[in-house]
Chain A
Amino acid sequence: MINAVTCPICGCLCDDIEVTVVNNEVVKIKNGCAVCEAKYLGYKSAHRIKQPLIRKDGKLVPVSMDEAIHKAGEILADANYPILYGWSSTNCEAQRVGVELAEEVGGVLDNTAVVCHGPSLLGTQEVGIPTSTLGQIRHRADVIIYWGCDPWSAHPRHLERYTSFTEGRFEDSEWKAYLNKVKASAGRKKLLSAQRRKEPKKQHATAAESVVFNKPPETLQKEGRKLIVVDVRKSMSAEMADYFIQVQPNKDYELMQAMRALVRDEELDVDQVAGVPVKYLREVVDVLVNCNFGVIFFGMGLTHSAGKFRNIEVAITLTRDLNMRTKFLIMPMRGHFNVSGANIVFAWQSGYPFGVDFSLGYPRYNPGETTSMDILLRGESDAALVIASDPGATFPKRAIQSLVKHPLIVIDPHMNATAMLGDVVFPSAFVGIEEEGTAYRMDNVPLPLKKVVEPPKGVLSDEAILKRILKEVRLIKSQKTNQKTEAA
């Protein structure tokens, strides 16, 4: 049994997983969430790519590693403006080679932030960000807000490791209180259904309201940690909250600006903002300014809806304003387990976190111009290398159509949507299971990933594949230069 294994899935980067290995196979997982178990027990699925593939006559056929490396090297060496995309589900060691490769081929280096928290990075480039590591939240936070994100679905252990349901030095876990609440509501439901059976024709109150409308925040008048969820729909996380604010779609910006005004003791001339009655909003803001330590976690609800990075900007500004009255911090719920790592590695080597264009011989950054999504939508690239990500499943249709118009190299353990569309496909080892390395948590804390089993025979790591491609590219380029000088 191997202790202290770091799970390679989401930004929680839980590093307390216990893995039992028998005969080079993972047979049991302890401490992991449902997604973690699915990965460790399911990664050896039938969808594993077994050897390198090249598309010939419309079909992907197995080839030798040398042939695939040579083809990939040719594609990148010949390309004028290739995109090197993905990077978020591999280790920093591979990401470092990625920067070198992008620089060598004069391409565009971009990661999945472009469809995820890219707007958050843009927001912080506008106004900065008051934040911390997750342990500060665990020890000190008595008000926790999840805005436009659903940790129960996307970061399942977040509450039990870092926020409401964990013990801190200065704050206790709210787990018992939550269990009591669930028991009480289950009891209520039983009572109501019994009543309904007795008097079927009578109009009964429903335990789960059929229409959720904002209620007075009496549930926030309690001791201990308070959990507030803001979303356009009642998510699973909202069910667990002490208070749920249902905001109208695309209206988060207005709601946050209204809260800023209330934090600054200004009057609002309207009765409701974004579907939320101002009189309840006032009480919520009261709770915020009077707490000891508050935090806002936010996700795609803000980055993907109208306003995008402006939503983040105003969320950060709201947090900043709250610092006039108390201690308040904010943190993006980063999705993939090493998406932070990619932004961090790109930044320290080039200065920029994503959308880095090396085509002029030095790093350039201009979101909207040098971001891979826009380049694809304008049809400007002429080749692509996709690694540790699945744009075939996450990109809008038109972007993918542009991607498959030109040679597409894919490096991935699974035959995912992108691999199915690729021209040269490399199988790689699962980082965090078959390959060790470093990853960065959503709060930018670096953690080591362990290797618990050997990869299948012939399957290399991302880092090794990239290094070979880089070497091949340099060889091809120097051969070309020699040919030119010979001809001259």
Chain B
Amino acid sequence: MPIDVEFYIFLKLILKYNSLNFLLIRSGIMMQQKLHVTLLTGRTIEQGVGKEYGKSSPEYYEACSMVYMDADDMKKMGVKNGTHVLVTTPNGSVVLRAVKYPRSAIPGLIYIPYGPWANAIVSDATTSIGTPSFKGTPAEVEPAPDKPVLSMQALLKKEFGR
């Protein structure tokens, strides 16, 4: 009986996260290339300035299609400043430019400026009060040096068909 229960739980976990990598990491087979982090989204001054130039402007693109990460976390993942990474949550995934967070260590945290890239993966759980969970939800990050960061038009086309 106990063995069946364990297998059942294991199976549930696989189905829930739907990721072979996750299975391999849990069994400790693969090198830890994928990082489990807490996702924060929010304002930056560059995002504020960029939006005034227009949401389709290059300034806005530069400001918002990136993710701040902890310097040590980036080393662990083998990712340098400017490398593309794939950020995944139960809501979706998006490719972003990784940037070292300049002011302090933020181990286990990533920060994506407000914008369509952040919202491709952010949690929409409103907990019955109308406001999504823009900060503090779980995410995974892995290197994706060969994947492109989409322009806003391409992102909108991919997500919404327009």
Q: Are B45 and A152 in contact (CB under 8 A)?
A: yes
**List of B residues within 8 angstroms of A393 by Cβ:** 51, 55, 114-116, 119
Given A150-B42, A232-B109, A373-B126, CB of A34 within 8 Å of CB of B56: no
Measured CA separation A390–B115 after assembly (Å): 10
Of residues A9, A235, A308, A309, which shows the largest number of chain B Cβ atoms within 10 Å of its Cβ?
Answer: A308
Tell me the total A-B contact number using a CB cutoff of 8 A.
Answer: 199
Our pick among A46, A300, A308 for the contact of B54 (Cβ within 8 Å) is A46
Chain A positions 181-235 with a Cβ under 8 Å from a chain B Cβ: 208-212, 232-235
**List of A residues within 8 angstroms of B38 by Cβ:** 249-250
Q: Are B160 and A235 in contact (CB under 8 A)?
A: no
Number of contact residues on A: which range applies?
A: 35 or more
Is B130 interfacial (CB 8 A cutoff)? yes
CB distance from B134 to the nearest CB of A (A): 4
Q: Are A368 and B126 in contact (CB under 8 A)?
A: yes
Q: Are B162 and A34 in contact (CB under 8 A)?
A: no
Given A249-B135, A300-B134, A306-B133, CB of A415 within 8 Å of CB of B123: no
Chain B residue nearest in CB terms to A408: B162
Is B78 interfacial (CB 8 A cutoff)? no
Q: Are A249 and B103 in contact (CB under 8 A)?
A: no
Q: Are A367 and B124 in contact (CB under 8 A)?
A: no
Measured CA separation A232–B57 after assembly (Å): 30
Is A397 interfacial (CB 8 A cutoff)? yes
Is A377 interfacial (CB 8 A cutoff)? yes
Is A154 interfacial (CB 8 A cutoff)? yes
Q: Are A45 and B53 in contact (CB under 8 A)?
A: yes
Q: Are A156 and B129 in contact (CB under 8 A)?
A: no
Measured CA separation A368–B115 after assembly (Å): 23
Chain A residue nearest in CB terms to B108: A249
Of residues A35, A236, A372, which shows the largest number of chain B Cβ atoms within 10 Å of its Cβ?
Answer: A35
Chain B residue nearest in CB terms to A246: B104
Is A347 interfacial (CB 8 A cutoff)? no
**List of A residues within 8 angstroms of B107 by Cβ:** 211
Chain B residue nearest in CB terms to A335: B43
Q: Which of B1-9, B18-26, B27-35, B151-159 contacts A (4 or more CB under 8 A)?
A: B151-159
**List of B residues within 8 angstroms of A420 by Cβ:** 56, 152-153, 156, 162
Given A368-B126, A390-B55, CB of A233 within 8 Å of CB of B101: yes
Query: What 1/0 flags go to A399-410 for Cβ under 8 Å of B?
Result: 111001000000
Given A377-B126, A394-B119, A396-B119, CB of A249 within 8 Å of CB of B160: no
Q: Are A234 and B103 in contact (CB under 8 A)?
A: yes
Q: Are A250 and B126 in contact (CB under 8 A)?
A: no
**List of A residues within 8 angstroms of B57 by Cβ:** 45, 47
Is B148 interfacial (CB 8 A cutoff)? no
Chain A positions 233-260 with a Cβ under 8 Å from a chain B Cβ: 233-236, 238-239, 246, 249-250
Q: Are A304 and B133 in contact (CB under 8 A)?
A: yes
Q: Are B92 and A397 in contact (CB under 8 A)?
A: yes
Measured CA separation A396–B160 after assembly (Å): 12
Measured CA separation A195–B45 after assembly (Å): 34
Our pick among A232, A234, A368, A401 for the contact of B130 (Cβ within 8 Å) is A368
The 5 A-B residue pairs with the shortest CB-CB distance in the complex, in nearest-first order? A371-B130, A47-B54, A234-B104, A368-B128, A396-B124
Instruction: List 10 other contacts, CB 8 Å, given A122-B129, A421-B156.
Output: A34-B48, A34-B49, A114-B130, A116-B131, A153-B44, A308-B133, A368-B126, A397-B120, A415-B54, A416-B54
Q: List 10 A-B contacts (CB under 8 A).
A: A42-B52, A118-B130, A208-B104, A233-B104, A238-B104, A397-B91, A397-B119, A397-B120, A400-B160, A415-B54
